[in-house]
Chains A and B, each alone.
Chain A
Amino acid sequence: MAATLSGARSRHAVGQAGTYLVVVAIVLAVLIPLFWMVSASLKTQNEVYDFAWLPRVPQWHNYVVGLTTFQFGRYFINTILVTGINVIAGGIVASWTAFALARLEFPGRNLIFALVLGTMMLPFAAYMIPSFVLFRWLGWIDTYTVLTVPFFLAVPGFFVFLIRQYYMTIPREFDDSAKIDGCNYFKIYWYLLLPLSRPALTTVGIYIFLANWEDLIRPVLFINSKEMRTVSVGLALLSESTEQAPEHHLMMAVSVIFIIVPIIIFLMFQRYFRQMGEGGLDTVSIK
C-alpha cells in the first residue's frame, strides 16, 4: 500500500514537472516574437533585415524618429482623441440605455432589449457601404465626428447588455427607499446605480478602448487626408509600401509604442477581463 502511494506521488511529481515544461514552452512562444520585435525596433536600417537577436548598438532614437518622420505623432493624437471620446461617451450612452432596460417599466422595453441583443450578431461589414454613403452625404468624411458619433450613439449592444446585467444584481430596495426620499429616476441613476456599477463601467470602458485603439476598417473607409489618419491606418499603409520605403526599423518602433499602451492597460485592469468573459458567457445562456 505504501509503495503504491509513493509511486503515485512520484508519478504525480513527474506529471507536474512535465506540465510545467509545456507551459513554459508556450509562454516562450508568446514572449519570443515580442522580444524579437522590440529588438528589431532598436536596430539600424541595415541590421533590421538580419535575423540577429540583438542590435549591435541599440538605436533608441528610432522611437523619436519614427514618431516624427511619418507624422505618427499626429496619428497618435488622433487615435487617443477618438478612443478617449468613445470610451467616455460610449460608456455614458451604454449605461443610460442599460438603466432604462434594467430599472424602468415602459412599452417597448422588450423590443429594445431584443434589438440590443440582436445588434451583437450584426457585423459592421454588413452595413459599411451605406454608412459610407450616409457619411459622405453628411459631409463627415475626414472628421473626428465620423469616427466617434456613430460609434458612441450606436454603442455595441454587448456593452449595454453587460451593464444591464450588473444593474440587475443591485437590489431594487435601494431604488425604492430613494424614491420614498423623493429621488426621481435621474437622481437614482446618478447617485445610486452609477457609483455602484463602477466595475461594470470599467470593464466596458476597457473594451471600448481596445476596440477603438485598434480599429482599422472605419478609418480606412472614412478618412482620406493624411492628417486625420489613426495609428492603425498609418501603420497599415506604411507596411503596404515597404518595398519603396525601407524604414522597417522605424515601423517596428512605432508598432512597439502602439502595442505597449493596450498591454499596460491590460496589466493594470486584469481582473476586469475575467468579468468580461463571464458577461460574454451570460449572453449565450440567456437564449
Chain B
Amino acid sequence: MTPIKRQEIISAYVFAAPWLIGFLVFLAGPMLGAFVLALYEWNGISTMKWRGLGNFARAFGDFDFWQSLRVTSSFVFSALPARVVVALALALLVNRIRTNQNLFSTIIFIPVVIPGVALAILFARVLNPEVGLMNRFLELFGIIGPGWLFSPQWALPGLGLMFLWQSGGAMILYIIGLEAIPGELLEAAAIDGAGAWRRFLRITLPLLTPIILFNLIVGVIGNFQYFAPVFVMTQGGPNKATLFFVYNVYRTAFQYFEFGYASALTVVLFFLIALMTFGMLRSSRAWVFYRGAA
C-alpha cells in the first residue's frame, strides 16, 4: 500500500469515527439490546427473568397491543392518504395563482414548524366542544359539533384534522414537483386535444408519484412514532380510542415498568416498519414513474 493511499484510509476513519462510535453505542447497541430485553421479564430494577418468546405470545393475546395497532393503522390508512390528497390539491391551487404565490405557500407552511406540544395545546382548545373554534365554525352551518377529544368516535378524527392542518410541508414538495414538469409536455398534450383532467391524470400525476411515495414512507414511519399529541391531549383515551403504538409502548415501559414486554413491542415495531417500507418500495415499481427510467 502506498503511503498516500494509507493516509487516505486513516483520514477517512478519523472523519467517520465520531458518527461510527455514536452509531455503535447509541443506535446499534440499544437496538440489539431491545432484541435481548424482548426475551426477558424485567421491571427495570430487580433481576431479569428469561421468558423466551413468551412476551410475543403475550402480545398476541393482548387487547391493548391490538388496539394500538388498530388505532395507528386506521390513522395510516385514513389521515395519511387524506394528507397526500390535501397537499396535492393545495399545491395545484397555489400553483394556478398568478400573484402572491410565495406569500400564500409560506403561510400554509407555518403549521409545519410549530412544535408538537404547542400544536397539541392549541388544538385541544380549538377542538374544545363548548368554547372551541371548530364547533363555533360548524355552528355557522347549523351543525352541532361532536365532543371531539372527549368522544371515543371523534377523538381520532380530531387528531386527523390537526394532522391535515400540517399539510403544508408535503404541499411544498408537490409545488417543487409541479414546477419541474416541462411546460411543453402539457402544451403538446393540450394541442393533441387532451382536456385539463386528462392532462392531470396522464402527465402531472405520474410525474408526481415519486413525491407521493416519499410522503407515504415518511408518513408511515412518522405515524408509528406519533407521541406528543397523545401524551398532551388524550393520554390514549377516551376509552383507548387514541392509543397509538408508541404511546402504548411508553405506558407499558415507563408507567407499568414492564421493560421486557415493552421491548418485545418495539421489536414488533421494528419489523413492521421494515416490512412496510420494503413493501412500499417494492410496490413502487408498479406505480411510481421515474423520468428517464422508462
Hey, which bits of chain A sit against chain B, CB under 8 A?
15-16, 19-20, 22-23, 26-27, 29-34, 36-37, 40, 49-51, 93-94, 96-97, 99-101, 104-107, 109, 112, 115-116, 119, 121-134, 150, 152-155, 160, 184-186, 189, 210, 213-214, 216-217, 220-221, 231-232, 235-236, 239-240, 251-252, 255, 258-259, 262-263, 265-267, 270, 273-274, 277-278, 280-281, 283-285, 287
Q: List 21 A-B contacts (CB under 8 A).
A: A23-B104, A30-B165, A30-B168, A37-B125, A40-B125, A49-B131, A93-B22, A104-B15, A121-B277, A123-B269, A125-B225, A125-B266, A126-B267, A126-B270, A130-B37, A134-B26, A150-B22, A150-B26, A214-B117, A280-B218, A281-B210
> What residues of B have a CB within 8 angstroms of the CB of A287 in the complex?
281
Identify which of residues 57-75 in chain B touch chain A, using a CB-to-CB cut-off of 8 Å.
Answer: none
Identify which of residues 150-167 in chain B touch chain A, using a CB-to-CB cut-off of 8 Å.
Answer: 165
In the complex, the answer to whether B97 meets A20 with C-beta atoms within 8 Å is yes
Contacts A104-B15, A236-B117 given: A129-B253 contact, CB under 8 Å?
yes
* Besides A40-B125, A121-B273, A220-B231, 20 other A-B contacts (C-beta < 8 A): A27-B104, A30-B168, A33-B133, A101-B16, A106-B8, A106-B9, A106-B12, A126-B269, A130-B30, A155-B22, A160-B19, A185-B15, A214-B115, A216-B117, A221-B254, A232-B116, A235-B232, A267-B106, A281-B176, A281-B214
Hey, which bits of chain B sit against chain A, CB under 8 A?
7-9, 11-13, 15-16, 18-23, 25-27, 29-34, 36-37, 44, 90, 93-94, 96-98, 104, 106-111, 113-118, 120-126, 131, 133, 136, 165, 168-169, 172-173, 176-177, 210-211, 213-214, 217-218, 221, 224-225, 227-228, 231-232, 235, 245-246, 249-250, 253-254, 259, 262-263, 266-267, 269-270, 273-274, 277, 281, 290
Q: Please name the residue on chain A nearest to B38 by beta carbon.
A: A129
In the complex, the answer to whether A23 meets B27 with C-beta atoms within 8 Å is no
In the complex, the answer to whether B122 meets A37 with C-beta atoms within 8 Å is yes
Contacts A16-B97, A126-B270 given: A236-B232 contact, CB under 8 Å?
yes
> What residues of A have a CB within 8 angstroms of the CB of B281 in the complex?
287
In the complex, the answer to whether B116 meets A125 with C-beta atoms within 8 Å is no
What is the distance, in angstroms, from B9's C-beta to the closest C-beta of chain A?
5
In the complex, the answer to whether B110 meets A258 with C-beta atoms within 8 Å is no
> What residues of A have a CB within 8 angstroms of the CB of B123 in the complex?
33
Q: Please name the residue on chain A nearest to B44 by beta carbon.
A: A133
Contacts A153-B26, A267-B106 given: A127-B266 contact, CB under 8 Å?
yes
Distance in angstroms between the alpha carbons of A152 and B97 in the assembled complex: 42
Distance in angstroms between the alpha carbons of A128 and B250 in the assembled complex: 9
B115 is contacted by which of A37, A153, A258 (Cβ under 8 Å)?
A: A258
Distance in angstroms between the alpha carbons of A264 and B104 in the assembled complex: 16
Q: How many A-B residue pairs have CB under 8 A?
A: 272
Contacts A33-B133, A122-B27, A125-B249 given: A255-B121 contact, CB under 8 Å?
yes
Distance in angstroms between the alpha carbons of A262 and B166 in the assembled complex: 15
In the complex, the answer to whether A185 meets B113 with C-beta atoms within 8 Å is no
What is the distance, in angstroms, from B7's C-beta to the closest C-beta of chain A?
7
In the complex, the answer to whether B117 meets A96 with C-beta atoms within 8 Å is no
> What residues of B have a CB within 8 angstroms of the CB of A214 in the complex?
115-118, 228
List the 4 closest A-B pairs by CB distance, nearest first. Answer: A153-B22, A130-B33, A214-B115, A154-B22
In the complex, the answer to whether B113 meets A263 with C-beta atoms within 8 Å is yes
In the complex, the answer to whether A216 meets B227 with C-beta atoms within 8 Å is yes
Q: Please name the residue on chain B nearest to A40 by beta carbon.
A: B125
Distance in angstroms between the alpha carbons of A187 and B217 in the assembled complex: 39
In the complex, the answer to whether B110 meets A263 with C-beta atoms within 8 Å is yes
> What residues of A have a CB within 8 angstroms of the CB of B21 in the complex?
153
> What residues of B have a CB within 8 angstroms of the CB of A29 in the complex?
165
In the complex, the answer to whether B27 meets A119 with C-beta atoms within 8 Å is yes
In the complex, the answer to whether A217 meets B16 with C-beta atoms within 8 Å is no
In the complex, the answer to whether A30 meets B273 with C-beta atoms within 8 Å is no
B93 is contacted by which of A22, A132, A240 (Cβ under 8 Å)?
A: A22
> What residues of A have a CB within 8 angstroms of the CB of B122 in the complex?
33-34, 37, 255
In the complex, the answer to whether B126 meets A33 with C-beta atoms within 8 Å is yes
What is the distance, in angstroms, from A30's C-beta to the closest C-beta of chain B?
6
Distance in angstroms between the alpha carbons of A132 and B42 in the assembled complex: 14
> What residues of A have a CB within 8 angstroms of the CB of B269 in the complex?
123, 125-126
